[in-house]
């Protein structure tokens, strides 16, 4: 397998350092709000990478994806809501888990929270190690990383160190490349903010130290195999993670950096002011299934910007329906003897699928290989040249591919579980029939439209009313 490594700006042969288990860290949500589809583009692509490493290439995976539940934004949000920090962030962690399940993300081995005591202690220990190695200084009760002490600083983002002002520092957890300067590791206690003290003085962690400490606490000695996240995290977050981990250990932090490009909406960056920041429930309320959202988010190469439009989501739905209709058609094939040429064609498609994944996780090419097989097999069915044993070989090929893609099985789960409980649908059908008998047609229409808005279509016939998914 070859992966593009942001650190070296080139594709490189990848295998886990111990040839068995991929140790991977992925930056998760900062839980001050519900995650949007831009966040989930990264999470879906990382999920496909995880699945490919496991199911296509046969390695074990130990993945850590964190929740940043203490930083400037979470503290401000909790204060505005009048809630304790943990209670405030709990709701967004649960929302993430709901959305992750809806989009078919595999559960990872560890989901640490920055405010877990073991993690806070690990952060304090890392800061102490940095202090012992001469990388820190204190000012007004806060502890800062002195980037001039690390000659390799800027290697990931290729930042020009000549523009860095010696001694200038930044306290904000989020800042731009123009603000490259010493960054805060541990923030002094402020009135009303949460505070801890594990030997570094009272205060709370800066954003960057959280991931460095949690990655090494849970994944072991550096270098870890893969660190993943969105391209927006390259600087300053990932650059500062490297500085902290390598400054504290004296060893390389990460072997491969895997970054997912931005999701645009109608060719624009997502912005609350533009009203184009959509969540999974937002799209579900418009009648779009999470399986179609997953398909769209993984359909383009992860290193290319993906433009989200509702037209593209409809196209994703159509592509996914084509796959599921094809598999249903396979199930109708019966009898006959196996055709060696069909087995060879399936093997050709399976090889093309795996080769696409091996080429820097090229999901677009992998999907193309599957649709080429769909066309070939449909032609064979039309010609009467496909047997039941052939259909089994084809079906097994798609099942193996979907271990990586995770989208066909997700659609099948959705089909098995309607968006409205079946008992409620039947009750509403009865209520609609009663409304029609008393000639309250506006109420009958309202019930039909309500169900349609929730993804259920009603079909009337002489024998009664039946329902189906939209």
DSSP helix/strand/coil, 404: helix
Inform me whether the pLDDT recorded for 240 exceeds 80.
yes
Which pLDDT does position 177 carry in this prediction? 56
Planar angle of CA 285, 41, 14, nearest 5 degrees: 155
Q: Are 2-260 and 278-416 in the same CATH fold?
A: no
Distance CA 298, CA 41 (A): 7
d(CA 238, CA 159): 12
* Own/partner long-range contacts of 377-383 (Cβ < 8 Å, ≥24 apart): 377/326, 377/330, 377/342, 377/345, 378/326, 378/329, 380/342, 381/329, 381/333
Segment among 100-109, 260-269, 453-462 with least mean pLDDT = 453-462
Question: Can you tell me the mean pLDDT for 133-149?
Answer: 94
User: What angle separates helix 408-416 from helix 388-405, to the nearest 10 degrees?
Assistant: 100
- Taking domain 278-416, whether its CATH number is 3.40.50.300 is answered by no
User: How many Å apart are CA 37 and CA 266, to the nearest integer?
Assistant: 13
Looking at the whole model, is its pTM more than 0.75? yes
Instruction: Provide, rounded to the nearest whole percent, the portion of the chain with pLDDT above 90.
Output: 84
Query: Residues with Cβ < 8 Å from 261, sequence gap 6 or more?
Result: 230, 231, 302, 303, 304, 305, 306
What's the whole-number average pLDDT of the chain?
A: 94
Q: State the CB neighbour count (10 A cutoff) for residue 460.
A: 13
What are the sequence ranges of the domains in the chain?
A: 2-260, 278-416, 422-469
CATH of 2-260, one of 3.40.50.620, 3.40.630.10, 3.30.930.10, 2.40.50.140: 3.40.50.620
Q: What is the mean pLDDT of residues 238-248?
A: 97
pLDDT of residue 162: 66
Task: Indicate the helix (H) or strand (E) that contains 170.
Answer: strand 169-170
Burial of 333 (0-12, 13-18, 19+ CB in 10 A): buried
Instruction: Give the model's confidence band at 165: pLDDT under 50 very low, under 70 low, under 90 confident, else very high.
Output: low
For residues 255-276, average pLDDT: 91
Helices (H), 52-174: 72-81, 85-102, 117-132
At 294-322, the pLDDT tens digits run: 999 999 999 999 999 999 999 999 999 99
Sign of CA dihedral 380, 382, 385, 386: positive
Q: What is the pLDDT of residue 167?
A: 65
The HSE-up count of residue 414 (CA atoms within 13 Å, CB side) is 27
Residue 264: name the closest of 231, 224, 236 by CA: 231
Residue with tokens 């130990």: 62
Task: Give helix 37-51 / helix 290-299 axis angle, nearest 10°.
Answer: 70
Q: What is the pLDDT of residues 198-222, one digit of tens each?
A: 999 999 999 999 999 999 999 999 9
Q: Are the C-beta atoms of 228 and 303 separated by less than 8 Å?
A: no
Cβ-Cβ contacts under 8 Å for 68 (sequence gap 6 or more): 28, 29, 30, 31, 74, 114, 207, 210, 211
Question: Are β-strands 21-26 and 224-230 bridged in parallel, bridged antiparallel, or unpaired?
Answer: parallel
Q: Give the residue-averaged pLDDT of 55-84.
A: 97
């Amino acid at each position: 397998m070859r992966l593009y490594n942001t650190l070296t700006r080139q594709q490189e042969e990848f295998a886990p350092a111990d040839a068995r288990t991929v140790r991977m860290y992925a930056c998760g949500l900062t839980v001050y709000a519900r995650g949007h589809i831009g966040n989930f583009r990264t999470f879906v692509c990382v999920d496909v990478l995880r699945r490919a490493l496991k199911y296509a290439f046969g390695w074990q995976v130990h993945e850590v994806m964190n929740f940043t539940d203490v930083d400037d934004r979470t503290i401000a949000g909790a204060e505005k809501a009048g809630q304790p920090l943990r209670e405030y962030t709990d709701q967004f962690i649960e929302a993430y888990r709901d959305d992750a399940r809806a989009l078919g993300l595999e559960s990872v081995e560890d989901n640490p929270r920055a405010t877990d005591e073991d993690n806070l202690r690990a952060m304090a220990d890392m800061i102490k190690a940095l202090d012992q190695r001469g990388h820190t200084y204190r000012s007004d009760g806060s502890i800062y990383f002195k980037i001039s002490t690390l000659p390799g600083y800027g290697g990931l983002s290729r930042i020009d160190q000549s523009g860095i002002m010696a001694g200038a520092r930044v306290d904000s957890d989020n800042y731009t490349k123009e603000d490259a300067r010493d960054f805060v590791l541990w923030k002094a206690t402020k009135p009303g903010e949460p505070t801890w003290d594990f030997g570094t003085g009272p205060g709370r962690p800066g954003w960057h130290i959280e991931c460095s400490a949690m990655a090494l606490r849970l994944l072991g000695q550096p270098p870890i195999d893969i660190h993943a996240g969105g391209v927006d995290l390259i600087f300053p977050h990932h650059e500062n993670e490297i500085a902290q981990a390598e400054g504290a250990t004296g060893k390389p932090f990460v072997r491969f950096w895997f970054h997912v490009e931005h999701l645009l909406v109608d060719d624009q960056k997502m912005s609350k002011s533009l009203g184009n920041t959509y969540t999974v429930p937002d799209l579900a309320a418009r009648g779009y299934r999470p399986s179609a959202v997953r398909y769209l988010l993984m359909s383009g190469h992860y290193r290319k910007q993906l433009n989200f439009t509702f037209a593209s989501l409809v196209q994703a739905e159509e592509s996914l329906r084509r796959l599921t209709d094809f598999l249903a058609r396979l199930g109708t094939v019966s009898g006959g003897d196996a055709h060696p040429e069909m087995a060879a064609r399936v093997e050709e498609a399976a090889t093309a699928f795996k080769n696409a994944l091996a080429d820097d996780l090229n999901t677009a090419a992998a999907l193309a290989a599957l649709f080429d097989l769909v066309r070939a097999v449909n032609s064979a069915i039309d010609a009467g040249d496909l047997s039941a044993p052939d259909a089994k070989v084809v079906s097994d090929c798609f099942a193996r591919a979907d271990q990586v893609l995770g989208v066909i099985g997700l659609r099948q789960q959705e089909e098995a579980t309607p968006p409205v409980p079946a008992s409620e649908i039947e009750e509403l059908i009865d209520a609609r029939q009663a409304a029609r008998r008393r000639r309250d047609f506006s109420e009958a229409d309202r019930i039909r439209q309500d169900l349609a808005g929730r993804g259920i279509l009603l079909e009337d016939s002489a024998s009664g009313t039946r329902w189906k998914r939209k």
